[in-house]
C-alpha cells in the first residue's frame, strides 16, 4: 500500500507540473501572438510610409503633428540597439520576424499538445489508482465487519 501511495503522490506531483507547464505555454503563446500583431502593425506602417504630414506619437498618448522628410526606419535588433534601414529592408525584416513568431507559436502549440496528452495519461492513471484504493478500503472495511 505504501508503494501505491508513493506512486499516487508522484502522479499528483506530475499533474501539478504539467498544469504549470500548460499555463506557462499559454502565457508565452499569448505574448508571442501579441508580438505578431505588433509586428504586423509595424509592417503595415512601414509599407505605407511616405514623405508627408503625419501624427507622431511621443508617449503617454500624446501626438505631435509633423512632416516626415525621410523614409529611413530605425529597426530594433536586440539589447536596445537600433539599425537604420530603408523602407524595403525594414519591411523584409518585419516579414522575417512575423514568420519567426508564427513558427514559435506552432512549436508552442505542439508542446502544448504533447504536455496535454501526458496530463491526460497521468490523470487517467491517478483516477484508476484512486478507484483501486477506494475498492481496497471498502473490501478491508467489509472484512473487518464480517470478522469482528
For residue 133, pLDDT over 90 is answered with no
Report the predicted TM-score, pTM, of the whole model to 2 decimal places: 0.68
In tens, the pLDDT along 39-98 reads 999 999 888 888 788 888 888 989 998 888 888 889 988 898 999 999 899 999 999 999
Mapped onto helix, strand or coil, the DSSP state of residue 45 is helix
Q: In the structure grid, which three cell numbers stand for residue 66, read together?
A: 509633423
Q: In the structure grid, which three cell numbers stand for residue 112, read together?
A: 502544448
Structure confidence at residue 136 as a pLDDT band (50, 70, 90): confident
Look at residue 54 and tell me if it is in a domain. yes
Look at residue 148 and tell me if it is in a domain. no
Look at residue 112 and tell me if it is in a domain. yes
In tens, the pLDDT along 3-44 reads 555 588 888 898 999 999 999 999 999 999 999 999 999 999
Look at residue 102 and tell me if it is in a domain. yes
The pLDDT > 70 percentage for the chain reads 89
Domain that residue 114 falls in: 2-141
**Structural domains in the chain (count):** 1
Look at residue 146 and tell me if it is in a domain. no
Residues 21, 3, 142: CA angle, nearest 5 degrees: 115
CATH of the domain at 80: 1.10.287.370
Residues 72, 75, 78: CA angle, nearest 5 degrees: 160
Burial group, residue 71, by CB count within 10 angstroms (0-12, 13-18, 19+): middle
- Of 35, 26, 46, nearest to 101 (Cα)? 35
Amino acid at each position: 500500500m505504501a508503494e501505491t501511495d508513493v506512486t499516487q503522490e508522484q502522479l499528483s506531483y506530475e499533474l501539478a507540473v504539467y498544469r504549470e507547464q500548460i499555463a506557462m505555454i499559454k502565457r508565452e503563446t499569448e505574448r508571442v501572438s501579441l508580438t505578431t500583431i505588433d509586428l504586423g502593425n509595424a509592417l503595415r506602417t512601414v509599407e505605407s510610409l511616405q514623405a508627408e504630414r503625419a501624427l507622431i506619437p511621443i508617449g503617454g498618448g500624446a501626438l505631435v503633428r509633423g512632416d516626415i522628410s525621410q523614409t529611413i526606419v530605425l529597426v530594433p535588433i536586440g539589447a536596445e540597439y537600433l539599425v537604420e534601414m530603408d523602407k524595403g529592408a525594414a519591411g523584409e525584416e518585419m516579414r522575417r520576424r512575423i514568420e519567426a513568431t508564427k513558427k514559435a507559436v506552432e512549436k508552442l502549440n505542439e508542446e502544448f499538445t504533447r504536455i496535454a496528452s501526458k496530463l491526460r495519461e497521468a490523470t487517467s492513471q491517478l483516477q484508476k489508482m484512486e478507484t483501486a484504493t477506494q475498492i481496497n478500503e471498502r473490501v478491508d472495511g467489509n472484512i473487518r465487519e464480517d470478522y469482528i
